[in-house]
Amino acid sequence: MKEEIPVLKGKTKKELEEICVSLGLEKYRAAQIYTGIYKSRYTTIDQFTTLSKEVREKLKQHTLYPEIEIGRDLVSKEDGTRKFTFYVGENKEIEAVWIPSGDGGRKTICISSQIGCTLNCKFCATGLLEYKGNLHTWQILDQVLQVERLVGDHATNIVFMGMGEPMHNYFSVMKAAHILRDQDAFGLGALRITISTAGVTTGINRFIENKEPFNFAISLNHPNPNARSSVMDVNDKHPLDKLIDTAKRFTKELDRAITFEYVMIPDVNMGRDNAERLAKIARSVNKCKINVIPLNTDFTGWRRPTDEEVKDFVMHLKAKTTAPILNRRSPGRDINGACGMLALKGIRSETTK
């Protein structure tokens, strides 16, 4: 059986050492390759000028240095958010979003972990897509490399909240997160990287057992165990009571707060009763914060809440819990780049490509 040609991107320093040794190169070359990929952000092997021409030729002959292909590049006229569509194979598209803060201090890239999604959250457009596979670690990291190159700036924060369920691609996601954190690579702090899940408890437990250092978010979206499945089908396999027990374990064993993401949908998960249920969950978990997000999609027939409805819901929530509550803005709505909108074509804005 023919041995697969190794891809240099997405590899740890140790894996690069193994590749170097297999090619008859000195092991220390791995560190030069590693920093060249992730810190210097070289786009071709010829740019690795710390390596001799002979070493570069050997790498070109025996390894691969691919990149995902940019397709659409949409820019929001409202807030400067940019949504990028990348091709990762025939009829396989993913999206990543560049989200600058209003003051220019925080620059976030929202990246994808799967092609399509294994789940079907009713408010999320990605759930309507056919699942076409997990992304490799190099494809996850290349979203960051490509977006930063295209916008001409570096991110301060990375969130795994794009297409796909990160816990269903756990090992590639966590490997990418550790490379993003490494000071010899991207150099982001662990708390500037957020891993998200729709509530896959097996993945959360693995995260806890491995004592991962990254921020963690759970997309909750309904506080009623009997009604959550109507919004998120993940609840059928990972019921809410089990999810909350796992969140309690997270805060107790890792001694860190967890974030609950809550998409507000009028007549579905809002109102005083649901605010009180959500507050009760927050009190039971103890160390948590709640990000409330107005619904951005309308393909289900559900509507976005009014500002008054949001204000009323948050008021009832604050009356029952001391957990920090953030009303998250929805950047990039005009290009279909906001929460739940990835996979929708941003036809209302101009392409910058």
Encode pLDDT of 269-298 as tens digits. Answer: 999 999 999 999 999 998 999 999 999 999
- Which is more confidently placed, 104 or 209? 209
In the prediction, which pLDDT does 345 show?
Answer: 67
Whether the predicted pLDDT of 351 surpasses 90: no
- Active-site option among 95, 110, 261, 288: 95
Q: Which domains does the chain have, with CATH numbers?
A: 13-62 (1.10.150.530), 69-335 (3.20.20.70)
Q: Biggest alpha carbon distance in the chain?
A: 69
Which residues are within 8 A (CB) of 171 and not within 5 positions of it... i.e. 6 or more apart? none
Which whole number is the average pLDDT over 141-166? 97
Whether the predicted pLDDT of 323 surpasses 80: yes
The answer to whether 84 touches 146, Cβ cutoff 8 Å, is yes
Count of other CB atoms within 10 angstroms of residue 67: 15
339 is catalytic: yes
In the prediction, which pLDDT does 105 show?
Answer: 86
Q: Is 20 annotated as a binding residue?
A: no
Q: Is 164 annotated as a binding residue?
A: yes
DSSP assignment of 220-273 equals -----TTTGGGTBTHHHHS-HHHHHHHHHHHHHHH---EEEEEEE-TTTT-HHH
Which whole number is the average pLDDT over 98-125? 92
Q: What is the DSSP letter of 7?
A: B
Whether the predicted pLDDT of 348 surpasses 90: no
In the prediction, which pLDDT does 180 show?
Answer: 98
In the prediction, which pLDDT does 330 show?
Answer: 84
Count how many residues are written for the chain: 353
Distances in Å between the alpha carbon of 31 and those of 16, 40, 50, 63, 176? 8, 12, 11, 16, 17
Q: What is the mean pLDDT of the chain?
A: 94
In the prediction, which pLDDT does 32 show?
Answer: 97
The kind and range of the H/E element at 178 are helix 170-181
- Active-site option among 20, 110, 288, 339: 339
78 is catalytic: no
Q: Is 124 annotated as a binding residue?
A: yes
Q: Is 165 annotated as a binding residue?
A: yes
In the prediction, which pLDDT does 319 show?
Answer: 96
Q: Is 129 annotated as a binding residue?
A: no
The answer to whether 320 touches 280, Cβ cutoff 8 Å, is yes
Whether the predicted pLDDT of 157 surpasses 50: yes
Q: pLDDT-derived band of residue 24, with 50, 70 and 90 as boundaries? A: very high
Q: pLDDT-derived band of residue 328, with 50, 70 and 90 as boundaries? A: confident
The values of phi and psi at residue 121, to 5°, are -80, 125
Decide: helix, strand or coil at residue 145. Answer: helix
**Structure tokens, 208:** 């806890």
Helix axes 29-38, 13-22, angle to 10 degrees: 130
